Amino acid sequence: MKRYYYPRLAFDGIRKNKQMYVPYLLTCIGMVMMYYIMAFLKSSEMIFNMRGGRSIQAYLNLGSWVILIFACIFLFYTNSFLIKRRMKEFGLYNILGMQKKNIARILLWESIGIYVVSLGLGLLFGIAFSKLFELGLLNLLNAKVDYMLSLSLHAILASMAGFLVIFFLLYLNTLRRIHFSTAISLLKTENTGEKAPKGNLLIALLGLMLLGGAYYIAVTIKEPLAAVMLFFVAVIMVIVATYMLMISGSVVLCRLLRKNKRYYYKPQHFVSVSSMAYRMKRNGAGLASICILATMVLVMLSSTASLFLGQEDSLRNLYPRELVGKFTMENMEAVSKENCAKLCAKLDEACSESGAEKRNFFGYRRAAVTVLFQGDFMNTDPELTGDFSLEGVKNITNVFFVGLEDYNAVTGDTRVLGENEVLLYEERMDYPEKTVTFPNHVTYQVKEKVDQFMDRNVAGELVIPTLIVIVPDFDEDIGPLVDAYGRYSDHTKYEPVSVSWNYGFDTGLTTEQQIELNETIYEKFHGPEGESEFGIHYFSVDAREGERADFYSIYGGLFFLGIVLSVVFLTAAVLIIYYKQISEGFEDYARFEIMQKVGMTKKEIRKSINSQLLTVFFLPLLGAGIHMLFAFQIIDRILLLFELNNTLLFAGVCLLCFIVFGVFYAVVYRRTSKVYYNIVSGGRA
């Protein structure tokens, strides 16, 4: 044979099927580009050297693996459309005398050509846009930027190796399909329809039950930790149920439409319903894939955008003052009013040295213990309170004890309590009892529940339900409890009660001065002298401005990752829709051609096409909207772990994302429906 015979056949095969191959090639280029950008960013020196850079690069590393794995799965999916379209051509080659090993050589040159073009252009665009993405990420994080363009050899080699493996696996999969097919079956592959799955009503009912179970989990979850544990279980249930319903449920839908004579026996509906039922198994799988991808985009964008937009509120929730700290003390004597006054004087000394003035100061004493409520009794058995399984997390509660004097001072309230009376403040829980019994078996009457503790939710930093108990006198009411259940007591029988002095204040200093004051305070109390003088067991002090960079790096990094992955998944959804339109257009061409010969006009063809596409292609959008609606509460619970408790913000972002995605989906539908119409009405490939 001639020297370039096989490469020429490979090139002609791609050229003659350019309507199928061009979008596929563009997708491959896009996947390589996105992977290179993620690999470049995760090894960027500029990002690594910024505050919080390591956390961001950990997210980017995860994102790069997600893109690579998704690219492998998705390219296998789309490659199946291409190969089915080419099977008739390969069957003709086989009948004309070309052996399968020769067909394998053609496919090898095709794979090499697509790999080289995809890698070359993908890396070219990746290098060109990598700096733009880097600058965008740094701007999201309010970090310093450097406009010097750079390359990453590691990212280039990783892209070459990763996609070489993917294209090699695609090549082997195509050889497998051809090897186990005869020449006749290859010729008929393109026209082979899909049989509707048997027992589809049972599968549809199972899908409904599975989806109902996932929705029940999503809407009944309350605790953030339990939400995290059950989220991925619910996601898997939703994915499986969606495929069951889209595949089997769509067959049931077609049967119901056929039974409706008024609907079915109309020109615009007759052909469309018949063709849908003929190939609904594959059609349903594609629709389910679009629905899942759409849901993933909505979940990622809405959650990460909400975190990014609400990051300042979250930062102030976690740090209600410019400087906040906690001194965990050895015993009740160390947390006496006199000793706390000495701690406060030491803070004043540090502020004076730094030229700061304490503003909006709060300080209060607190005792803390983890309990399992049995009726009104606080059981501190560590075998129960140390259970962090799903069931255990749902039952255990953090209890904070605060004195009435401190409560009134912090909130500006003037509450009064009688003997053996308490006030309760609930965080992520609802305490139903009228009395509360402490671990030392002393019972108090619940006078009332209050709706504030200070100017923030003090328990916001905790991820399990929290109950704040305000007692009449901290020393008299909590002293015996700490003595019996103190830090250094016998922990094998009960959970220890720790005591602390918590404080916070504003300074009016600049960012750099706040960080310097934070370091000064740390030095004042750090070391054996500070611990022995005040009885400190452990202490922490944080400056809001000192934590801002790390805080923003997490939220900005997640938002950036959400944008990148959403673009990748959107591209996949668009390509699935496009290939469905083309492949089904070629399958339906013969049917519509017959209908035209018996008198069906092009206007009626367009009505039939609109009926089919509106019936089918907006099901994924509807399904994604329903999934998102039921997932709202469980995602909202998870966002509490990131200190975002602004439900209205999250709801608004979800609604906006759905509207924008709906408009985008409608545009894609209109563009691809024109391709389908051109094929079935004129036979243009």
Indicate if 366 and 514 belong to the same structural domain.
Answer: yes
Return the pLDDT at 459.
44
> How far is Cα 162 from Cα 171, in angstroms, rounded to an integer?
15
Q: 605 burial class (0-12, 13-18, 19+ CB within 10 angstroms)?
A: buried
> Over pLDDT 90: what percentage of the chain?
14
Indicate if 327 and 465 belong to the same structural domain.
Answer: yes
Q: Which of 90-104, 286-300, 422-436 has the lowest mean pLDDT?
A: 90-104
pLDDT level of residue 460 (50, 70, 90 thresholds): very low
Q: Is the pLDDT of residue 253 over 60?
A: yes
Instruction: Specify the 3-state DSSP secondary structure of 374.
Output: strand
Q: Is the pLDDT of residue 611 over 80?
A: no
Q: Which of 10, 23, 32 is nearest to 118 (CA)?
A: 32
> Degrees (nearest 5) of the Cα angle 214, 217, 219?
110
636: in domain: no
pLDDT tens digits for range 138-150: 776 666 666 666 7
> How far is Cα 298 from Cα 177, in angstroms, rounded to an integer?
36
pLDDT level of residue 595 (50, 70, 90 thresholds): low
Yes or no: say if 415 and 404 are a contact pair by the CB < 8 Å rule: yes
Q: Which of 143-157, 297-311, 410-424 has the lowest mean pLDDT?
A: 143-157
> How far is Cα 109 from Cα 114, in angstroms, rounded to an integer?
9
> How far is Cα 449 from Cα 470, in angstroms, rounded to an integer?
10
pLDDT tens digits for range 351-372: 888 888 888 888 899 998 888 8
- Domain end: 546, 568, 590, which one? 546
- Domain end: 528, 546, 564, which one? 546
Yes or no: say if 325 and 594 are a contact pair by the CB < 8 Å rule: no
Calculate the average pLDDT of the chain: 79
CB atoms within 10 A of CB 421: 16
Tokens of 83: 């190969």
382: in domain: yes
Q: What is the DSSP string of 319-354?
A: -SSSEEEEEEESSTGGGSHHHHHHHHHHHHHHHHHH
> How far is Cα 308 from Cα 137, in angstroms, rounded to an integer?
12
Return the pLDDT at 12.
79
429: in domain: yes
Q: Is the pLDDT of residue 397 over 50?
A: yes
302: in domain: no
Return the pLDDT at 15.
82
457: in domain: yes
Q: Domain of 455? A: 321-546
640: in domain: no
Predicted structure pTM score: 0.75
Q: 157 burial class (0-12, 13-18, 19+ CB within 10 angstroms)?
A: exposed
CB atoms within 10 A of CB 208: 14
> How far is Cα 256 from Cα 252, in angstroms, rounded to an integer?
6
Mean pLDDT of 587-597: 66
pLDDT tens digits for range 56-102: 777 778 788 888 888 888 888 788 777 777 777 776 766 766 777 77
- The identity of residue 663, as a single letter, is V
pLDDT tens digits for range 377-390: 988 877 776 665 55
- Domain end: 482, 514, 546, which one? 546
pLDDT level of residue 457 (50, 70, 90 thresholds): very low
641: in domain: no
> How far is Cα 380 from Cα 159, in angstroms, rounded to an integer?
54
- The strand pair at 396-403 and 466-471 is best described as parallel
The structural domain count of the chain equals: 2
Q: 585 burial class (0-12, 13-18, 19+ CB within 10 angstroms)?
A: buried
559: in domain: no
Q: What is the DSSP string of 96-164?
A: TT--HHHHHHHHHHHHHHHHHHHHHHHHHHHHHHHHHHHHHHHHHTT----------HHHHHHHHHHHH
> How far is Cα 267 from Cα 263, in angstroms, rounded to an integer?
10
- The identity of residue 309, as a single letter, is L
User: What are the angstrom distances between the C-alpha of 147 and each of 53, 79, 153, 154, 556?
Assistant: 18, 39, 19, 20, 20
Yes or no: say if 400 and 369 are a contact pair by the CB < 8 Å rule: no
Q: Is the pLDDT of residue 105 over 90?
A: no
